């Protein structure tokens, strides 16, 4: 069955190619070249029944309002799947991803309460990592704190039961050893219900409280599908 898809891609030729491919696959596609324009499109959707089944965003646009847009989509349309699209992935990969999310329930049958959220925190800054972990723990969250993507991969590698997996990954997008988007997508393949909350990059951080380093509250993570939510 075809899906309603909101495609956000800044490259005109790639945007047209992806749009045409998705249309030929039977999907209904609305295209946008910026996150700002996509937010305006979403603003005019009044009913959840009219919401897109999937929001596909080129990964190079995520640094320009991507976290805020994802949080907005997740808050208004929890069933929407959020799919970050790397520049080096082809149309066949995207089609396979959409096929998976189209047959997967948008929400778990019996979701755990958000007050008992499991959080995998990845933060290179030692002081900030400790401060955020302590703040989350004080709220009753179960937190696993890692300094690098390698440590985070090791933490996930030992999780064999999906019920024991973290529900939310908190991390910046950029790392010296890789990127948060690829890490999240890999985690989604192992744990489809996992979500991603993007923390501010070092260049945008101030000496304010740890809560200001996150784009939204971890107690209300965006759907990935989930990332993928939604995403996944």
pLDDT at 216 over 70: no
Residues paired with 83 in a beta bridge: 56
CA distance 151 to 45: 41
pLDDT at 91 over 60: yes
Domain coordinates in residue numbering, the chain: 4-103, 114-213
The pLDDT assigned to 8 comes to 92
For residue 159, report the phi and psi dihedrals to the nearest 5 degrees. Answer: -90, 110
pLDDT at 166 over 50: yes
The percentage of the chain sitting over the pLDDT mark of 90, rounded to a whole number, equals 4
Sequence length of the chain is 232
> pLDDT tens-digit profile of 183-210?
999 988 888 888 898 886 655 555 444 5
State which CATH number among 3.10.110.10, 2.40.50.100, 3.40.50.2300, 2.40.37.10 fits the domain covering 114-213: 3.40.50.2300
The pLDDT assigned to 103 comes to 53
* Topology of the domain covering 4-103: Rossmann fold (3.40.50)
Q: Burial of 74 by CB count in 10 Å (0-12 exposed, 13-18 middle, 19+ buried)?
A: buried
């Amino acid at each position: 069955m075809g899906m309603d898809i909101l495609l956000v891609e800044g490259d005109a030729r790639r945007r047209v190619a992806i749009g045409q491919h998705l249309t030929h696959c039977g999907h209904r596609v609305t295209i946008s070249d910026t996150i700002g324009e996509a937010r305006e499109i979403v603003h005019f959707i009044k009913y959840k029944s009219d919401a897109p089944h999937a929001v596909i965003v080129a990964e190079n646009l995520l640094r320009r309002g991507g976290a805020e847009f994802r949080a907005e989509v997740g808050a208004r349309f929890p069933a929407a799947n959020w799919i970050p699209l790397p520049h080096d992935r082809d149309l066949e990969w995207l089609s396979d991803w959409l096929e998976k999310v189209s047959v997967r329930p948008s929400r778990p049958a019996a979701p755990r309460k958000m007050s008992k959220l499991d959080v995998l925190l990845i933060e290179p800054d030692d002081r900030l990592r400790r401060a955020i972990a302590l703040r989350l723990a004080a709220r009753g969250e179960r937190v696993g704190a890692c300094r690098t993507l390698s440590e985070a991969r090791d933490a996930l590698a030992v999780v064999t039961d999906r019920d024991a997996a973290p529900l939310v990954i908190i991390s910046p997008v950029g790392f010296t050893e890789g990127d948060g988007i690829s890490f999240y997508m890999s985690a989604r393949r192992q744990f489809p219900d996992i979500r991603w909350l993007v923390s501010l990059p070092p260049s945008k951080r101030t000496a304010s409280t740890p809560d200001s380093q996150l784009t939204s509250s971890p107690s209300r993570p965006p759907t990935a599908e989930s990332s993928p939510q939604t995403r996944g």
